Amino acid sequence: WYQRRVRGKQWYQRRVRGKQWYQRRVRGVFESIFLFRMSTPKLTAEEELLLNDFSKSVPRSTSILFHLNALFVSALPIWLFWRIQQLELDTYGIMFAIVTLISTFLMSLAYKNVKYSLKHKIAQKRHAGVTAEVMQQVADASNDMKKTVKKEKDDRVLFKKTEVADLEATHFSIFYNNALFLFLTIILSFYVLKNFSAGANYLGSSVTSACIVAFLSTGSN
Amino acid sequence: AVVSTQSTGDFLNDVIAQDKHLTMHYLVHNIGSETATDVKIDDTTGFPATEFEVISGSLSATFDQIPAGTNVSHAVVLRPLISGAHNFIPAMVTYKNSNGDELITFSSFLDNNPILSISEYNRKYSPHLVDWLIFVGLCTPVLLIPFLTWHSSHSKYESLANKAKKS
């Protein structure tokens, strides 16, 4: 299994080096903004699995989940500053929109980075549990399935393990980054920046919190 | 024989804010040796009707006499209609001595505290309990749902791994 993963990594690295410089640059910029892969040449299931493993980009569904979560959590401080700090919506509406968009972008980056760093650690931890589940499924299955060869069982374990690691890493990344962002926003706005004007307080606390969350997420790589 | 008074005027509020009640308290001491008569306190100049609404009491008061060594007090409740910096001037106190001469004095100077606007007052002093509860309610789905999803998968595969270890 390990040797197959090493060969897969080498294959992935050859594919990356083989692309033209201009296409790689354009794709990289597009992926970093929108967080999902551009359409790629048709790949086999194993190649797709290995590409998911070693690529930082995420599938479209996960990208949409990340963006929607980031947008919602970035908009939450607006409630605090409108109701508690008494910032008028019609006066500060444009500032609210711009700061929310900046925070959304930074939070999406943070989700992606933390997910990427957690995925392999979780996959290693889940190996025993997923193997037990797959063996249980094979044992409960019909006689035809019981004749499944070892290679197919290993493939199923690998696939299932990747799936579970992807799910747990995605949701833990969202939870961790949301909690950190909200905590930092409250601390900055009500303690550190409390003597500033309400507008400067909102700008400073929201953007700084998002920057810190994004910065810390790069460190986890 | 001397008739002499000492007057003080003071806010009874810690915070002065627009649309919030402001209580003014006046104290006139007769520190002389004779009775002061026809004592009048007048603070209408300091709190014009266009800027302050009288809720209870009056900005002017009259006392027939203040014996020597005694004092009288007067209070009025106002509601500021404006916000921002305001020059609080002393109240004017007039009284007559035993010869019938009218004498004028002024109450003590007040601190020129700014009058907070409604939004500024709410921002600093309102507890906002309902607003905080709503904020907690809004934060709950973005924290609880991802955590529970992760935790259910985590606990499921941890228990499977522990069972496999034991067997």
Beta bridge partners of B75: B25
List the 42-61 stretch of B: residues with Cβ below 8 A of A.
Answer: none
Give the model's pLDDT for residue B121: 86
Give the model's pLDDT for residue B134: 94
With an 8 Å Cβ cutoff, are A85 and B123 in contact?
yes
Percentage of chain A exceeding pLDDT 70: 74
- Chain A partners within 8 Å of B119 (Cβ): 86
Quick one: average pLDDT of B84-89?
Answer: 86
DSSP B38-74: EEEEE-TTTS-TTTEEEEES-SEEEEEEE-TT-EEEE
Quick one: average pLDDT of A125-153?
Answer: 76
In this predicted structure, the answer to whether residue B16 has a pLDDT above a threshold of 80 is yes
In this predicted structure, the answer to whether residue A19 has a pLDDT above a threshold of 70 is no
Query: Under 8 Å CB-to-CB from A129, ≥6 apart: which residues?
Result: B156, B157, B158, B159, B160, B161, B164
- What digits encode the pLDDT tens for the residues A182-194? 999 999 999 999 8
Quick one: average pLDDT of A135-146?
Answer: 69
**Looking at A136-150, A168-182, B85-99, which range is the least confident one?**
A136-150
B39: phi > 0 → left, psi -120 to 50 → alpha, else beta; which? beta
Helix, strand, or coil (residue A119): helix
Would an 8 Å CB–CB cutoff place B138 in contact with chain A? yes
- Residue A50, amino acid: L
Strand order across the B60-66 sheet: B60-66, B36-42, B92-96, B102-106
Of the pLDDT bands very low, low, confident and very high (cuts 50, 70, 90), residue A45 is: low
**Nearest residue to A63 (alpha-carbon basis) of A28, A39, A38, A34:** A34
Give the model's pLDDT for residue A41: 47
Identify whether the C-beta of residue A67 lies closer than 8 Å to the C-beta of residue B122: no
Give the model's pLDDT for residue A40: 46
Q: Which of A69, A167, A175 sits opposite B153 (nearest CB)?
A: A167
Give the model's pLDDT for residue A189: 93
Interface predicted TM-score (ipTM): 0.73
* pTM of the predicted model as reported, rounded to 2 decimal places: 0.68
Beta bridge partners of B36: B66
Helix, strand, or coil (residue B117): coil
The first and second tokens of residue A214, run together, are 């994004």
